Chain A
């Protein structure tokens, strides 16, 4: 076994951007975790417990405890069949570019994670739901899946064990809603990607009405390492109780935009200043969206907050996907908010009123504000719409996601909004 690493997710990745093929992956002790599970006499429950003990929380944005999700799936002979495992590789959250790296550079890590997760929930069939634009990832994943089949990591009786798993790659027709796990189920069934009512929850009634677990790429990639090195090691990787490492990223006008595997709980400041190199010359920091488009803006005062699920929630934001988008002083906060609302309005599935109606309205208000036609009552209208997207008010989490940047922009950049209305123009134009 290679020495235990503090960057398990990216340790195999090559600087030239080429893919780790099955030989290289195996040489780096790849598929050892699968062997440990299948040949080491681990039960599905034992695998789930290991993941629970590690406190692996979903990297798709919501941070739901992964082991707990798995444990909702009925196991045993009386369980409905087939059971499905789905890797959510839809990555369409604006500002997010972490899963693409994992998919393009080390696809076998994901496949191994899926085999283990599949074993834990006694899945018969697994799908990777990949966004349609990820062409390179699709190529590399297809090849990796074929390699894995050839090496008997997939298919009937994997490595001679009793466990069988078919793994298919599905390319999305495109829509942010396909990333929402129940919208994803509908998309995979060849339907419109409207979300489904919960209950019933996917682990009970999922794809084609069967028990289904949906996990994010990064979540699944953590699994082999937890199996190999144990819960204590995984906890030790993180700086806070939300264990493990996390792919953190930064985009916007920073010196070195990029993606880094860092301990969970690394502070925003450290990511921004040390890893991203701070702001570019000539611009100053105004705020950032910590983890994709659907997280609340944070500002200077929050920079020492550790990036993890718990701490970020405490400051009224979310870690989300952990890829931050930085707003600088040369960029109009109203324009940025408009851009975000434009995105959400475009991607609203059209199911529930507050979302499809409210987002369209908010986008138009912001457009007019940018065009110098803002009206005095506009901010109240914006605030009241954001309220209409609160949890429970909408059918799924898309609109609540849109509420976060809107309400926080209104809070932190209120002067800028008012200036637009007062001066009847966008001061940045």
Chain B
């Protein structure tokens, strides 16, 4: 329990416990490690008292022996409260509630995807209900097709309402709800169709039984206990959400949320949860290729060595490769021959962000802290599509000011519907300045859709309205309003990032944050963009130059498709001019296709490493399974035998680059042991292990060693809960579902025992020079016959790797150009000319786009690599 909370002494079955007085009794009992069953309550959703499962007996005082049944989730943990969990009447009541919930529940656990990790199963066992007295027909429903990600099986529903409360009230979805009433409430959509909300996958974990399950898992189903897990970090954006990854027989089966109080809490976005299938893709590079022919790992290694010895090699790093892999390449080619893996402009912006966060006066909050910010100004970022989980946090932040109403009325904040009734649909300040309308517009106080320069100018004007010292050009009526909102907030926050490729926007954001005394958060374009930039490198353009100048004839490209970084013609020329192109990557891509030597590098699931998130948090991901030889971590390929283990790379990196030394502490070293043992990757019930290879040999093979981490490829090991960074899966006696997370927390919903994973690499250290940025762009001017082409981001489509996951691919956007104009009609084909390339795409009319501005889907081939925004022409096809 953290120190600030008011503590109450609560007597449970005659024993006293210290509980958080601002919470309810269910929260208190669970925090105290007492088992009390529940359904409708969820730590992130609060209490609504629907399921009546958490009943306890409450006594007025010591004399009261009679007591009355109350719902623990609806009763405050007030000082001196006396309750009994084990009172016979209450025990019977709880068993009867389960009986009621189970009347219509099918007997399909053996074929149910939730079986073995089902909260309903756990709670049924916990209450002791074990005999069905109901003798009538069960009600049946028709299931809906909710799209490629989430499966629907309504007959299993127990009407706890968690799904709709999460989906509608927490995540802001509008296409899932409860229909009808009595014992036939149906939870679904008005008609079959893909769930619209970007956070729909959390339904899988929110639903306490098997109504909403992971459809991607279903296609290659394995029980929880037969999966091998490792703690991981999401690779699909720069936020660094924590995941648990489950594998079986060499394929990744699913991603689960891994609770990190500071970062993602209980929820992931759908890109993060379902993007994993690229690991299993047919387009994986599984063997080394030399000149298009499969070669052995040894041959490949030798080839790499020889090329390096005889050629003039340079290396291009990657914002999606680990710190360790980038460092290994840097070491291999030498720091002066190591080049950035992102376009110069983007590198500059990420560097600017890092610089401001390290030396500016503004602190960057954790994602969890974003939820508590009570006035937010976003400049240039389409948050939902660029840093999705942050959008979910912002949906909570707009509740912060209205929640004061509930506080003033003394409604406990956990009393979820009481609070919602009191605040109705009021929302706190959220201002969005973006080139086009975004999904968050619906909860924004005001929006400003304009060209990037105008967004920057608005930002400067807001800073000026806050502090006349801050420079500004131009008049923006909205500026005063935003300034006032930030001034009146207790925890104002400014969000910006490199999405618009605009230094001015980021500088304007910094000015606003400085002038408002606000926290400042920058998104990062990829999972290790911050790490890669922190490492330091020459600009990417210099690599192109080096080859052109003949200073290099060998190019080692680390986990990077250069066609996403630079215009096609430039990359074509580069690869053409380079004698030896060596690519390490997971998936075949246009760059790897042209390499002389291709090395199969392990994905996040097949290797260990560290990413640094946009918050500046270094976090470790661990190998989930041993991939078939010769797939291995890029750093292993590049280490060329210099390093045997991850910890050695980290030590070398700490010596070579002391500012990266803290990254070593992102997780315990490989030598870490719990009660003398490693941490098992498989649940102790793992049934398949001894049987899988029995047709070959009945004696069980020795599990593979893991030199890189304290995790074991086995179900044997420490039976206690590992520290946060090392939690492969959650399980506690009696808690097989993901709700077992409760037992890993210091207090429910609070930090993990032993602290939350990751280390923040920097805290703001205000320098003396806190002067405002002052290069303000001039007003945007439309051009005759030309369009300013801006990037439009898509949660499904803009991210490279997840596009190779079939479910995501099905939902992904396709190439198009978006315009706000009468000049075109929806769907007509046009030629877009930009930066020397031309491509033919259909038109999508977007009335939200400013005049003279057109949008192209970012990251979507062939548009990726264009370097947007840029001026271009849109030409009708005669």
| Direct interface between A and B, CB < 8 A | yes
Residues of A within 8 A of B (CB): 175, 192, 196-197, 199-200, 204-205, 208-209, 345-354, 356-361, 364, 368, 375, 377, 381, 384, 388, 390, 392-395
Contact yes or no, B418 A199, CB < 8 A: yes
- Chain B residues with Cβ below 8 Å from A204 are 409
Contact yes or no, A384 B134, CB < 8 A: no
Contact yes or no, B52 A361, CB < 8 A: no
Contact yes or no, B69 A353, CB < 8 A: no
Contact yes or no, B418 A349, CB < 8 A: no
Contact yes or no, A350 B421, CB < 8 A: no
Contact yes or no, A395 B49, CB < 8 A: yes
Which residues of chain B in 135-186 are interfacial with respect to chain A, using CB atoms and an 8 Å cutoff? 135-136, 158-159, 161, 178, 180-185
Contact yes or no, B418 A347, CB < 8 A: no
Contact yes or no, A395 B182, CB < 8 A: no
**Given A197-B418, A350-B180, A393-B93, 20 more pairs with CB closer than 8 A:** A175-B181, A196-B417, A199-B411, A199-B415, A200-B418, A209-B421, A349-B182, A350-B185, A351-B50, A353-B50, A353-B52, A356-B185, A357-B100, A360-B183, A361-B103, A361-B134, A377-B133, A390-B69, A395-B49, A395-B52
Bound Cα distance from A384 to B97, whole angstroms: 11
Contact yes or no, A208 B424, CB < 8 A: yes
Bound Cα distance from A364 to B100, whole angstroms: 13
**Is residue B743 within 8 Å, beta carbon to beta carbon, of the partner chain?**
no
**Given A199-B415, A353-B53, A381-B133, residue A359 in contact with residue B182 (CB < 8 A):** yes
- Chain B residues with Cβ below 8 Å from A351 are 50, 161
Bound Cα distance from A252 to B398, whole angstroms: 56
**Given A360-B182, A384-B96, A392-B69, residue A197 in contact with residue B49 (CB < 8 A):** yes
- Chain A residues with Cβ below 8 Å from B134 are 361
- Which chain B residue lies CB-closest to A185? B421
- Chain B residues with Cβ below 8 Å from A393 are 52, 55, 69, 93
Query: How far does the Cβ of B128 sit from chain A's closest Cβ, in whole Å?
Result: 16
Bound Cα distance from A368 to B137, whole angstroms: 12
- Chain A residues with Cβ below 8 Å from B415 are 197, 199
6 contacts between A and B (CB under 8 A): A199-B415, A350-B181, A357-B100, A357-B104, A361-B136, A364-B136
Bound Cα distance from A26 to B713, whole angstroms: 89
Query: How far does the Cβ of A378 sit from chain B's closest Cβ, in whole Å?
Result: 10
Bound Cα distance from A323 to B751, whole angstroms: 58
Bound Cα distance from A209 to B423, whole angstroms: 6
- Chain B residues with Cβ below 8 Å from A377 are 133
Contact yes or no, A353 B409, CB < 8 A: no
**Is residue B801 within 8 Å, beta carbon to beta carbon, of the partner chain?**
no
- Chain B residues with Cβ below 8 Å from A199 are 411, 415, 418
Contact yes or no, B97 A353, CB < 8 A: yes
**Is residue B740 within 8 Å, beta carbon to beta carbon, of the partner chain?**
no
Bound Cα distance from A388 to B159, whole angstroms: 17
Bound Cα distance from A364 to B55, whole angstroms: 26
**Is residue B70 within 8 Å, beta carbon to beta carbon, of the partner chain?**
yes
Bound Cα distance from A390 to B418, whole angstroms: 23
Contact yes or no, A350 B182, CB < 8 A: yes
- Which chain A residue lies CB-closest to B92? A384
- Chain B residues with Cβ below 8 Å from A354 are 52, 96-97, 100
Query: How far does the Cβ of A326 sit from chain B's closest Cβ, in whole Å?
Result: 28
- Chain A residues with Cβ below 8 Å from B159 are 350, 353, 356
- Chain B residues with Cβ below 8 Å from A192 are 178, 181
A-contact bits for B23-66, CB 8 A (1 contact / 0 none):
00000000000000000000000001111110100000000000
Bound Cα distance from A50 to B799, whole angstroms: 70
Contact yes or no, B417 A356, CB < 8 A: no
**Is residue B68 within 8 Å, beta carbon to beta carbon, of the partner chain?**
yes
- Chain A residues with Cβ below 8 Å from B133 are 377, 381
**Given A196-B418, A200-B418, A393-B93, residue A349 in contact with residue B181 (CB < 8 A):** yes
- Chain A residues with Cβ below 8 Å from B93 are 388, 393
Contact yes or no, A346 B49, CB < 8 A: no
Bound Cα distance from A197 to B53, whole angstroms: 16
**Is residue B422 within 8 Å, beta carbon to beta carbon, of the partner chain?**
yes
- The residue in A345, A350, A364 that gathers the most chain B C-beta atoms within 10 A of its C-beta is A350
